[in-house]
Chains A and B, each alone.
Chain A
Amino acid sequence: MSLFPVGLYHFLILAAVLFVLGLFTMLTRKNAIAVLMGIELILNAANINFVAFTRYGGVNLGGQMTAIFVIVMAACEAAVALAIVLNLYRRSQTVSVVDANKLRD
């Protein structure tokens, strides 16, 4: 019996905090790279949820399998996103999402 038993709820709270932090990052940061970091936080919050649910009371490995797929998808998305940001930087010498706003009503 450990002094501080870690259970499902600890993981869920951690995931929820990560999710909110990621959301906050995405909505407030102006640097496109920082916004992309926010995306990683959100995806990893979901991953922690999946893995924790499988570990505590899961009947199959569906959650862990999904988490692996999410990791792969996050890598794909990051690769494409960085390429797009790099391309934007070459065009207009900025990675700020506020400056890249010429298309508007």
Chain B
Amino acid sequence: MPPKPPPDLSTIAHAVQQYTAISINHFLPEVFLVCGFLLSILLDVATRKGRSKRVSVYFAVAVLALSGAMAATQWHTFDPLHPKDLKGGSPLFPYTQSLFAPDVHNAEMQNGYGMAVVDNFAVFFKLFISVTGILVLLMSLVSRELQARSSRMGEFTSLILGMCIGLYLMPASMDLLTMYVSMELVSITGYILAGFSKDAEHSAEASLKYILFGALASGMMIYGFSLFYGLTGTTSIIGIRNVLALSPATHTGANLFILWSATVLALVGMGYKISAVPFHMWTPDVYEGAPAPVTAFLSVASKAAGFGLLIRFLLFIFPDSRGAGLPLLDWHIFVAAIAAITMTVGNFAALLQSNVRRMLAYSSIAHAGYMLAALAVGGAPGVVAIMVYLGTYLFMQLGAFYAVMLIENKLGTEELDDYRGLVARAPLVCVGLLIFLISLTGIPLTSGFVGKFYLFTALLTPDHSTNTIPWLWLAVVAIGNAIISLYYYMRVAGAMFLKRPLRDLALERVGELGAIPSAAMAFSWPTIVLLLVFITPVLVLGVYFQPLVDFASGVVRFFSFTEIRY
């Protein structure tokens, strides 16, 4: 049979024009964000030094709010009675709009599903990132470290906006190329942000460590991607999935070894982004050295987008390899092992810390471990658990970093010993930090409990075909870890509320900041309002969490885990 002649060049050009014209309508949030990013650079040049630099922060907040609102309009509500209302999409993934590529129905070029997609999963993360970005920008207004460099605030906000473009694209990417480029966009802006206070030695060191580890991880990931491409002949996630499912030769014999290597190498890059052990070494140093708002942003937004990417990658390339009995990789056990190690290492290392910010860094590693455990479960329950966990994690983690930053603003230190007896001097901030710490532990009536509850529900899902609970051991490890974490969170609370201040330690700092060690700390009212903005969702979501759960299950419904056919 003679090979089919390649399509005419003008036909291809016409098709590309068409796809771009269709796609750009669905790409508006990102386009808007890019315009905002460029304008914020111009704005930085236009505004004069000093207080007017605050304008750039307000501008960035407005850009993020508007692009978040645009993303919200892309949300598809599910109507099972009218399945014909499909806007784009395909039988495989209804309610999904693929961007910048031929539709899967197009038999001529049926090897892909576009560079990126718009589905509820992506919309969830876009909203998540917009909210995080806005809160972090507001945090930056009261950060002593950043306000001391207020002439460079425009630079800061444009970098945050640039990072948001990458974060928007990460969970939406449907192609190895988009995954790599969006991850690099996030990483490179992250390296610069980590070293933002470049005149401080600790910041310079933090950014150096971040870029060396990050470059190594992303290099290994792209090498893994190249193996995927060699194995399947395509960089599209759906293309890879189809090839793996349809041709057994790609995952038997020597090819199985290549497939495993490629997957592990790819997971190195993604594991670095979510700071999973053993790719976590940068986390404590960067979190300690970077300015507090940057730390908060990295630990929430960048981690969430990393999970979005990881879910896309694993669940779309290797769909439900347990349930469907496909002869694909059993990555679940591999991820479960990483999850168990991550949460254990994170929690035990957090026990040993004397610096509160460093302790929070290790605790964020532990939280990544909990979410990885939910990922190991896979399927709809696992993904819902991750989404709910992320939704609760957002406010408590940002809030904890915010409270630590407020104390650091006045005290000039983050050492646990300096927190002794702090409640007498800053009662409201201490109560706020206590609430965040309780929530991070996962005690009921706070949002952290809801996250943990859905996590354990997912882990304890019984397998009806064998009448066992496959992830019982992981659930036991997670519960043990949650109990360990109680100790180090409550150690901070104990220092603040129960211990007497160490006189000599506090006196040492008087000269540095000119503060009287026993005087009450005065906080401006916007500072307190922002603290309440963090506290309220932590408490409200602890009791009234149904909207968040509905939101998360609204996402997962469109993954159509059970309806995947070949």
Contact = CB atoms under 8 A, between A and B. Distances in A.
A103 interface: yes
B204 A65 contact: no
A85 interface: yes
A66 B235 contact: yes
A102 B218 CA distance: 25
B445 interface: no
A69 B195 contact: no
Contact of B219 (A39, A57, A76, A105): A39
Contacts of A57: 233
Given A76-B188, A103-B288, A88 B205 contact: yes
Nearest to A54: B229
Contacts of A52: 230
Q: Is the interface of B mostly helix, strand, loop or mixed?
A: helix
Interface residues of B, number: 47
B242 interface: no
Nearest to A51: B226
Given A53-B230, A66-B177, A81-B211, A100 B198 contact: no
Residue from B187, B188, B222 having most chain A Cβ neighbours under 10 A: B222
B408 interface: no
A2 interface: no
A91 B204 contact: yes
A60 B219 contact: no
Given A45-B223, A50-B226, A100 B208 contact: yes
Contacts of B233: 53, 57-60
Interface in A1-37: 12, 15, 19, 22-23, 26, 32, 35-36
Q: Is the interface of A mostly helix, strand, loop or mixed?
A: helix
Contact of A46 (B199, B211, B219): B219
Nearest to A58: B233
B490 interface: no
A101 B205 contact: yes
Given A70-B222, A77-B184, A92-B204, A105 B349 contact: yes
Residue from A39, A77, A103 having most chain B Cβ neighbours under 10 A: A103
B222 A26 contact: no
B353 A105 contact: yes
Interface in A50-105: 50, 52-53, 57-60, 62-63, 65-66, 69-70, 73, 76-77, 80-81, 84-85, 87-88, 91-92, 97, 100-105
B216 A42 contact: yes
Interface string B202-233: 10111111011001101110110111011001
A26 B226 contact: no
Interface string B170-186: 00000011001100100
A103 B289 contact: yes
Contacts of B180: 66, 69-70, 73
B285 interface: yes
A92 B352 CA distance: 28
A92 B176 CA distance: 39
B111 interface: yes
Contacts of A88: 204-205, 208
Q: What are the 9 closest A-B residue pairs judged by CB atoms, nearest first? A: A49-B226, A42-B219, A53-B230, A103-B285, A46-B223, A46-B222, A39-B215, A46-B226, A88-B204
Interface of A: 12, 15, 19, 22-23, 26, 32, 35-36, 38-39, 42-43, 45-47, 49-50, 52-53, 57-60, 62-63, 65-66, 69-70, 73, 76-77, 80-81, 84-85, 87-88, 91-92, 97, 100-105
13 contacts: A15-B226, A22-B219, A66-B226, A73-B180, A76-B184, A77-B187, A77-B211, A87-B204, A87-B207, A88-B208, A97-B208, A103-B209, A103-B288
Given A81-B191, A88-B205, A92-B204, 5 more contacts: A43-B222, A46-B222, A66-B226, A69-B181, A77-B187
